């Protein structure tokens, strides 16, 4: 497991951590992303799966769950098609056992960490970063399995 503290998500940070994993000798079989623009091109050499949950949230940002206006229904169709090539990668590459969501990270690793930070909300930024580092190091020791990239 590797991670890097960043101010905001940038494509170059993703590329950097990908190259770090490769330099460490890991083989990258696929990448599941949350839909950040530009990541598709950054990872064009790999099967890319867009998280289904994040796709739904992107659509909900612009329209309701059950649009009534025809324009909203049309927009919903367009938004669904925009990421269509990346929504079913997990089915097109079944042998890779690709997850179709980022839930294993968002709910499995990051949720308890976010809860710790929320509980200790009076900490300075540097102490929060130390807490994140400590949490991820401990999580790495407990779950010493396949590598994941954490931001």
- How many domains does the structure of the chain reveal? 1
Write the CA distances from 66 to 60, 69, 70, 84, integer angstroms. Answer: 10, 9, 11, 20
Distance of alpha carbon 80 from alpha carbon 55, whole angstroms:
8
DSSP 8-state secondary structure symbol assigned to residue 7: S
Instruction: Give the 3-state secondary structure of residue 5.
Output: coil
Q: Which domain holds residue 136?
A: 2-150
* Prediction pTM value: 0.62
Q: Which two tokens stand for residue 94?
A: 């079944």
Q: What is the pLDDT along the chain (151 residues), one digit of tens a residue?
A: 677 787 778 888 888 889 988 998 989 898 888 877 778 888 889 998 888 887 877 777 778 778 888 888 887 777 767 777 777 788 888 888 887 777 666 666 777 888 888 888 888 988 888 888 888 888 765 555 555 554 4
Would you say 58 and 64 are in contact if contact means Cβ atoms under 8 Å apart?
no
Using the structure block, give the residue that is written with the tokens 């994040």.
54
Distance of alpha carbon 2 from alpha carbon 151, whole angstroms:
9
DSSP 8-state secondary structure symbol assigned to residue 98: -
């Amino acid at each position: 497991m590797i991670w890097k503290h960043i101010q905001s998500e940038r494509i170059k940070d993703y590329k950097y951590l990908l190259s770090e994993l490769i330099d460490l000798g890991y083989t990258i079989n696929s990448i599941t992303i949350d839909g950040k623009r530009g990541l598709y091109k950054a990872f064009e050499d790999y099967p890319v799966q867009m998280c289904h949950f994040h796709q739904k949230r992107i659509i909900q940002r612009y329209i309701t769950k059950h649009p009534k206006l025809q324009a909203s229904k049309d927009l919903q169709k367009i938004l669904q098609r925009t990421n269509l090539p990346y929504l079913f990668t997990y089915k097109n590459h079944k042998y890779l056992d690709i997850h179709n969501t980022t839930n294993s990270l968002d709910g499995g690793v990051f949720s308890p960490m976010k809860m710790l930070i929320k509980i200790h909300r009076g900490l300075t930024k540097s102490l929060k970063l130390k807490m994140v580092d400590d949490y991820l190091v401990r999580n790495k020791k407990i779950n010493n399995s396949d590598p994941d990239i954490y931001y």
